[in-house]
Structures are given as C-alpha cells and as structure tokens.
C-alpha cells in the first residue's frame, strides 16, 4: 500500500464554543459561523480544483444549524464522519448519555443528508470514555480517529482498558475497530487559534509558515520512515479557512503529491488497512 494522506476537517462551527468552552457570546459564536459561511466554501473550492476527497468530522449540531453547507460537502462526494452531537467530551457521561449523544449525531446526518450513515468517529475534545469503543462497535462503526498510540500506522482498538488513580494500569482486549492515529501535533486548532475561556487558554495565532514547516517535515519523515503510512491531518474550517492560512493546505497537497502519496478519505484508508491486515481471530 502506498503512503496515504487523509485531509480531515473538523467542522465544529458554533457548537465548539458552548460545548467545549462554555462560552456563549455572539461574537465568539461568529468565529464558528465564519467556518460555515467562508471557511468551508473556500476549502470545497480548493478540494474541487485539486480533485481530492476529504473527510469532514461534523457534530450533529452543526448539521442541524448549517444543513445547506453540509449538503454542499456531501454533493461534492466527501466523507462525513461522526464528531458527537453538541461537541462535548463523552468522558464524564454515563453510558446511556453517551449512547444518546451518538445516536443523536447519526440521526442529524440521516435527516438532513438523505439517510447518510457515518462509519468513522473522532471524539469531541479527542477524548474517549471507557465505553466509547464498545458503543462505536455496537453502532457498526468501522474506525475511530481519536487515539494516539501510533503516529502513521493504523492499529486495532482496545476495549476495557482500566487506569486506576492508585497507579494500576490494565490493558483490555483488542477488538475489530480500526484506529486511525490522531495527534495534537497534526491539528491546526491548538497551534493557531486563540481561546480565552475559564476552562482553557490557548495562545494560538502562530505564524502559519511555522506550522506548515512542522507539518511538511512530518510528511517528509513518513515518506522515509513509514512509506506505507497514513498521515491524518486535522484542520478546522474556522481556523485554516481564514485568509492566507488556506495556502498551508495548498502547499501540503503539493508536497504530498511530490512525495508520491495518495489522498483518500479516512474510511477508504481504514478499509484498505483492514483488507491488508485481517483481524487476528482467537
């Protein structure tokens, strides 16, 4: 399998601010609105010109708030993947609350996108609860893109890990759900976005060229050290779609092509990896 690049866009839009940061002011919400009204159209235009498929991780609340923007993404043939409903972490939820949140997100896509069914998941806040993997399997998901135990090689998820506050660590059982590696280092939000909230402060506003160099170096590393790897890049339309920052995506596409990588959706990358690495049955 040739090396693969998955361009992913976390289309959080407005949901991010009340959901993650507890901020509800109209001016903060407008930053998410920018992602829907300007960022996504700009990204779709670029992907169309470059003829590249991408994966959009979309909270159900974004689908309910901006259905027309979501239909435009769907009409261009990109993958929709699940990113919660209200963009809140499942970690403090009960199992039943988490299940309802998962079903609500699926329902929003089915209602607005002619029965579209997501098969991929990335948790809001990139944090899974002890129940998440089991719930994803119960709902027929193919992959999760939240875990960080590898950088460029997919692997099988585990269910039932137990970490005690007394220092005990027990690893659970490997299960047939593909893990596409996530990394905060390949995420534009903590690098570039200013956040001032009672729960989190991010300095952001980093020079896009600094980020671009960092990400191109990782791409170069993968081409030499993990040539059949999967490079999952996480962008946010409200971050990377603003002004000259979009050129970072253009330059990454150019470099990826020079290095001979294929651009696919996450679902295609997960299915290809699965076909080449059958789950070891006991």
12 is an interface residue for Zn ion by CB under 5 A? yes
* From 9-17, 140-148, 152-160, 206-214, span contacting Zn ion (CB under 5 A): 9-17
193 is an interface residue for Zn ion by CB under 5 A? no
To the nearest whole angstrom, how small is the minimum distance from the Cβ of residue 169 to Zn ion? Answer: 28
Nearer to Zn ion, 12 or 273 (CB): 12
* From 7-15, 133-141, 196-204, 242-250, span contacting Zn ion (CB under 5 A): 7-15
Instruction: Tally Cβ neighbours within 10 Å of residue 122.
Output: 25
In Å, what is the CA distance from 257 to each residue of 52, 125, 254? 11, 31, 5
Nearer to Zn ion, 200 or 276 (CB): 200
Nearer to Zn ion, 189 or 231 (CB): 189
To the nearest whole angstrom, how small is the minimum distance from the Cβ of residue 269 to Zn ion? Answer: 20
Q: Which two tokens stand for residue 69?
A: 């923007």
Nearer to Zn ion, 16 or 248 (CB): 16
**Cα–Cα distance, 98 to 134 (Å, whole number):** 11
- CA angle in degrees (0–180, nearest 5) for 234-259-229: 55
Find the binder of Zn ion among 6, 10, 54, 157 (CB under 5 A): 10
Count interface residues toward Zn ion (CB under 5 A).
2
Nearer to Zn ion, 10 or 245 (CB): 10
Nearer to Zn ion, 40 or 222 (CB): 40
Nearest one of 46, 40, 43, 29 to 69, comparing CA atoms: 40
E-strand ranges in the chain read: 4-10, 55-58, 79-82, 120-121, 143-144, 155-159, 162-163, 169-170, 173-179, 195-196, 201-202, 230-235, 262-263
On whether the CB atoms of residues 239 and 189 are closer than 8 A, the answer is: yes
Residues 22-81 that bind Zn ion (CB under 5 A): none
Q: Give the bridge partners for 177, in sequence order.
A: none
In Å, what is the CA distance from 262 to each residue of 21, 55, 144, 257, 268? 36, 14, 21, 7, 11
* From 4-12, 131-139, 164-172, 206-214, span contacting Zn ion (CB under 5 A): 4-12
Nearer to Zn ion, 182 or 261 (CB): 182
Q: Give the bridge partners for 232, in sequence order.
A: 6
DSSP designation for 35 = I
To the nearest whole angstrom, how small is the minimum distance from the Cβ of residue 154 to Zn ion? Answer: 21
To the nearest whole angstrom, how small is the minimum distance from the Cβ of residue 90 to Zn ion? Answer: 13
DSSP designation for 15 = G
82 is an interface residue for Zn ion by CB under 5 A? no
To the nearest whole angstrom, how small is the minimum distance from the Cβ of residue 168 to Zn ion? Answer: 31
To the nearest whole angstrom, how small is the minimum distance from the Cβ of residue 61 to Zn ion? Answer: 11
Nearer to Zn ion, 143 or 273 (CB): 143
* From 2-10, 69-77, 95-103, 167-175, span contacting Zn ion (CB under 5 A): 2-10
For residue 102, give every residue at least 6 positions away whose Cβ sits within 8 Å of its Cβ, in sequence order, or none. Answer: 82, 84, 85, 135, 136, 139
Question: Which residue ranges make up the site for Zn ion (CB under 5 A)?
Answer: 10, 12
């Amino acid at each position: 399998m040739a090396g693969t690049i998955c361009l992913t866009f976390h289309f959080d839009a407005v949901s991010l601010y009340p959901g993650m940061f507890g901020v509800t002011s109209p001016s903060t919400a407008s930053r998410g609105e920018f992602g829907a009204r300007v960022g996504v159209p700009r990204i779709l235009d670029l992907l169309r010109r470059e003829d590249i498929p991408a994966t959009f991780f979309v909270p159900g609340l974004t689908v309910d708030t901006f259905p027309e923007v979501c239909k435009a993404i769907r009409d261009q043939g990109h993958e929709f993947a699940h990113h919660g409903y209200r963009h809140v972490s499942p970690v403090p939820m009960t199992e039943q609350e988490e299940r309802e949140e998962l079903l609500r997100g699926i329902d929003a896509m089915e209602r607005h996108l002619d029965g579209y069914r997501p098969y991929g998941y990335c948790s809001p806040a990139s944090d899974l609860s002890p129940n998440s993997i089991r719930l994803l399997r119960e709902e027929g998901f193919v992959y999760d893109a939240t875990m960080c135990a590898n950088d460029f090689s997919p692997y099988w998820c585990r269910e039932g890990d137990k970490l005690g506050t007394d220092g005990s660590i027990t690893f659970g059982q490997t299960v047939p759900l593909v893990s596409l590696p996530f990394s905060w280092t390949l995420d534009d939000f903590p690098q570039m976005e200013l956040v001032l909230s009672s729960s989190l402060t991010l300095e952001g506003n980093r020079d896009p060229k600094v980020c671009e160099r960092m990400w191109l170096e990782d791409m170069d590393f993968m081409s030499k050290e993990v040539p059949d790897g999967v490079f999952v890049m996480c962008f946010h339309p409200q971050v990377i779609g603003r002004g000259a920052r979009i050129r970072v995506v253009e330059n990454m596409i150019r470099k990826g092509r020079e290095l001979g990588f294929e651009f696919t959706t996450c679902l295609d990358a997960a299915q290809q990896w699965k076909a080449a690495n059958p789950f070891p049955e006991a």
